[in-house]
């Protein structure tokens, strides 16, 4: 059974940092692209970042709204993906989902989501 479990979310003050983890099982992690997608009632679903598999260079890309502040990484030995979020803003408040797919743009498997609230 494919499983993705996000952790690390919570309440954080503006300007601070948070690191999300996505622990996975049940599929060949190192063959998959890993992505983060966030959702708010106001803006809906918004792609945040992806990282390709090592076979495709392991390169990453980011939405313009988070570029320079967020960093995605992966540990294939542990089947875990991370999203380091720095300089957080109130607009980053959302439920953050981890997703996996053969290709970066197809979100085949999803975690249950991790809420992040940026507020004083």
Based on its alpha-carbon atoms, the radius of gyration of the chain, rounded to whole angstroms, reads 13
Among 1, 68, 77, 105, binds other proteins (CB under 8 A): 105
- Rounded Cα distance between 31 and 101, Å, is 9
Q: Which part of the chain contacts other proteins (CB under 8 A), choosing from 16-24, 76-84, 85-93, 107-115?
A: 107-115
Q: In this complex, which beta carbon is closest to other proteins, that of residue 32 or of residue 107?
A: 107
- Counting contacts by CB under 8 A, is residue 63 touching other proteins? yes
- Counting contacts by CB under 8 A, is residue 103 touching other proteins? yes
Among 46, 71, 76, 117, binds other proteins (CB under 8 A): 46
Pairing of strands 114-118, 10-12: parallel
- Counting contacts by CB under 8 A, is residue 40 touching other proteins? no
Q: Which part of the chain contacts other proteins (CB under 8 A), choosing from 13-21, 51-59, 72-80, 97-105?
A: 97-105
- Which residues would be at the binding site for other proteins (CB under 8 A)? 44-47, 63-64, 97, 101, 103-113
């Amino acid at each position: 059974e494919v499983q993705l479990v996000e952790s690390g979310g919570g309440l954080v003050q503006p300007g601070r940092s948070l690191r999300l983890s996505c622990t996975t099982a049940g599929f060949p992690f190192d063959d998959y692209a890993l992505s983060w997608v966030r959702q708010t009632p106001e803006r809906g679903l918004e792609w945040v970042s992806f990282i390709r598999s090592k076979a495709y260079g392991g390169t990453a890309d980011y939405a313009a709204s988070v570029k320079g502040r967020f960093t995605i990484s992966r540990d294939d030995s542990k089947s875990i993906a991370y999203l380091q979020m720095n300089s957080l803003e109130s607009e980053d408040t959302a439920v953050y989902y981890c997703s996996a797919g053969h290709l970066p743009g197809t979100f085949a498997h999803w975690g249950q989501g991790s809420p992040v609230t940026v507020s004083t």
